[in-house]
């Protein structure tokens, strides 16, 4: 019986690679929006390619989406024009809300560059598109009676610390040449912020007590 050969290859364990994480909700929505826009270009008459797409074609796409909107926008002749909560229904058309269009353009602008488009030729960043979105925002705010205002961030109160250094040695000790007591010198009342009481002046008979009493007064 022959001995088993040494160094025989061991069975390799199957490599376990972690599956990629699922795309986020934003990425999934961006992919759907991009595919919808490409389908719109293919169905356009005449058909359009992405390289020939301009800001005008983006505006056509946004107006095309209005037929699928769910936001009622009152016309000026409607009695509910400017009322946020109309008491009854009316025959005004439904359109895409401004917030939905603004978010859609942001996703398509990013998807265009992620798919090889140049930033300087991005049709979703065209000036005409920005003007159109601003007009939709203002018109829907008037028609629905709901102003679109940016929320102002609350600023934190600014706390300023001031450090006051007072030289008490030169004001209290003096040079002692004139024989006046520290309590009667002219520099002390100005540091204390007012006139000193007679009790305090009489208590400052010696120079050892004056600095302590002055500190208590300033505190």
Encode pLDDT of 78-115 as tens digits.
999 998 888 888 999 999 999 999 999 999 999 999 99
Q: Closest by alpha carbon to 124, among 142, 143, 103?
A: 103
As a whole number of angstroms, the distance between CA 60 and CA 29 comes to 21
| Mean pLDDT, each 10-residue run in order, the chain (219 residues) | 54 65 92 96 91 94 95 92 88 94 97 94 96 96 80 61 54 50 46 46 47 51
Q: And the tokens for 16?
A: 């376990």
Residue 123 has a pLDDT of: 97
As a whole number of angstroms, the distance between CA 177 and CA 201 comes to 19
Helices (H), 73-146: 98-114, 127-144
CB-neighbour burial class of residue 83 (10 A; exposed 0-12, middle 13-18, buried 19+):
middle
Encode pLDDT of 37-58 as tens digits.
999 999 999 889 999 999 999 9
Cβ atoms within 10 A of the Cβ of 145, count?
15
Residue 84 has a pLDDT of: 86
Beta strands in 20-136, from DSSP E residues, in sequence order: 71-72, 94-95
Q: And the tokens for 156?
A: 């934190």
Contacts of 73 (CB under 8 A, 6+ apart): 92, 93, 94, 95, 139, 140, 143, 144
Contacts of 211 (CB under 8 A, 6+ apart): 168, 172
> Interior CA angle at 137 toward 140 and 39, to 5°?
100
- Predicted TM-score of the model (pTM): 0.59
Residue 23 has a pLDDT of: 86
Residue 9 has a pLDDT of: 56
Contacts of 112 (CB under 8 A, 6+ apart): 122, 123, 124
* Domain boundaries defined on the chain: 25-144, 180-218
């Amino acid at each position: 019986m022959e001995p088993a050969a040494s160094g025989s290859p061991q069975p390799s364990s199957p490599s376990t690679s972690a599956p990629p994480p699922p795309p986020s909700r934003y990425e999934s929505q961006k992919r759907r929006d991009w595919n919808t826009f490409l389908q719109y270009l293919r169905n356009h008459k005449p058909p359009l390619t992405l390289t020939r797409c301009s800001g005008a074609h983006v505006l056509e796409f946004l107006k095309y989406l209005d037929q699928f909107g769910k936001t009622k926008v009152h016309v000026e002749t409607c009695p509910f024009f400017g009322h946020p909560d109309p008491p009854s229904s009316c025959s005004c058309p439904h359109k895409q809300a401004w917030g939905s269009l603004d978010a859609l353009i942001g996703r398509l602008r990013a998807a265009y560059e992620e798919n090889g488009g140049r930033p300087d030729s991005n049709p979703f960043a065209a000036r005409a598109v920005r003007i159109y979105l601003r007009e939709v925002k203002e018109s829907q705010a008037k028609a629905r009676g709901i102003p679109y205002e940016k929320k102002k961030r609350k600023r934190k109160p600014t706390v300023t610390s001031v450090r006051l250094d007072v030289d008490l040695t030169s004001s209290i000790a003096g040079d002692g040449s004139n024989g006046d007591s520290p309590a009667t010198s002219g520099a002390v009342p100005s540091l204390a912020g007012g006139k000193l009481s007679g009790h305090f002046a009489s208590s400052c008979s010696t120079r050892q007590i004056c600095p302590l009493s002055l500190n208590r007064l300033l505190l």
